[in-house]
A and B are shown apart, each in its own frame.
Chain A
């Protein structure tokens, strides 16, 4: 059989669609081999790198992964820590010893540190095969969030919102003078001095989410921000 790629690079494909024929190509994430063919196993954008074919997901819920920085909300106080909601199918546990360098006395009221409804920027320290998730607040930039507003975006779009080496998010930060934190789980926290600028940042992020699969996004965003009253600080 001849070796042949059936789709273009960066094309949207659906589950069960044939991506390539022949044994010359290797199936990677989001694809599988059946006989001589490579088929898509989810909805996504095709990415062909040399002989490796993989899919970049376009939709879906967040799945906790070790090392991810996420924004989560405290939902429950436990015996020795806090349970947080992670915007995925699984809740996570923040253990007391991973929470703060402060000394927490025995029998202390844990709501003094983090109360139910508080938002945290945390790092996932461990995920078991049964998807029991541990998070930690020890690390640079990990903390409790005060004020600001919370925004939900589609988790597969997060890399586009952050951009290469954080270029996209720093572009918005510069133009709107807002503090922005983007969690891998699709929760974004925005805080600015000026509520109009906060709303502009929200609009900008919504726009990136809609146009995430399109080329030339950074230039478009630069134009959008300056046209709508944002100015580089």
Chain B
């Protein structure tokens, strides 16, 4: 069968509308809100601060700790039960690994930088939206960073390679979901997961497609961070 037209009406290589804002959580050192289509993420950064439990301390450099969680009302179906579960632990771990290559915490040994990602609304691609938000929040918190990290899901639905899967495409019976995170300048991949099956040629095409969207994500992140410092009107 052929997937001739996307349910959302988008082109096959068209991501959903993106929007972002920095400094949404006043209490945090840095924070951000990132929206892609109906998926919305909030990230807050606390630290560098003292690390507990103490055995996790690294005397060489600071520790980055990311926590991903979905709000109870965020999914379209049943209430998401709060608290850690197998899925959120996995995403916390992969999000840490996606952001680790850019942050430089050598100036703050024995400390921790905590990143909390909360999904306000989920419609596919939550881990990618979470990583995009976390990247803005880390920059907003003044953490030394080599680069920004952008993330987007690409994949396959029936015979077509598609960009930025929403929940419908993600849960399609003949679909493949590939979340990709990349560093903006070098386009090094810091997150790559694959759920489903795909041919090598289609996979390469999908990755190329993801690479093409990174600049777009970077522009959104840039606008969010610069927007925080617009001149104050009297």
- Comparing A54-62, A142-150, A175-183, the segment that makes contact with chain B is A54-62
Give the complex CA separation of A52 and B57 in angstroms: 36
The reply to whether A213 and B229 form a contact with Cβ atoms under 8 Å apart is yes
Question: Smallest Cβ distance from B49 to chain A, in angstroms?
Answer: 5
Answer yes or no: B142 CB below 8 A from chain A CBs: yes
The chain B residue with its CB closest to the CB of A132 is: B110
* Range class of the B interface residue count: 35 or more
Contacts of B146 in A (CB 8 A): 15-16, 32, 39, 41
Answer yes or no: B222 CB below 8 A from chain A CBs: yes
- Comparing B101-109, B125-133, B194-202, the segment that makes contact with chain A is B101-109
The reply to whether A39 and B185 form a contact with Cβ atoms under 8 Å apart is yes
Q: Within residues 26 to 72 of chain A, which ones have a CB less than 8 A from any CB in chain B?
A: 30, 32, 34, 39, 41-43, 57-61, 63
The reply to whether A41 and B144 form a contact with Cβ atoms under 8 Å apart is yes
The reply to whether A42 and B50 form a contact with Cβ atoms under 8 Å apart is no
Binary interface encoding of chain B residues 201-222 relative to chain A, with 1 for a CB under 8 A from any of its CBs, else 0: 0000000000000000010011
Question: Smallest Cβ distance from B27 to chain A, in angstroms?
Answer: 11
A contacts with B: majority SS? loop
Contact of B139 among A39, A43, A90, A91 (CB under 8 A): A43
Give the complex CA separation of A76 and B110 in angstroms: 20
Q: Can you add 18 more A-B contacts, CB < 8 Å, to A16-B102, A63-B107, A89-B62?
A: A14-B226, A15-B147, A16-B145, A16-B218, A34-B185, A41-B104, A41-B145, A42-B143, A42-B144, A61-B141, A89-B47, A89-B111, A130-B109, A131-B110, A131-B111, A156-B142, A211-B232, A213-B229
Interface residues of B (CB under 8 A from A): 29-30, 47-50, 59, 62, 102, 104, 107-112, 139-148, 183-185, 218, 221-222, 225-226, 229, 231-232
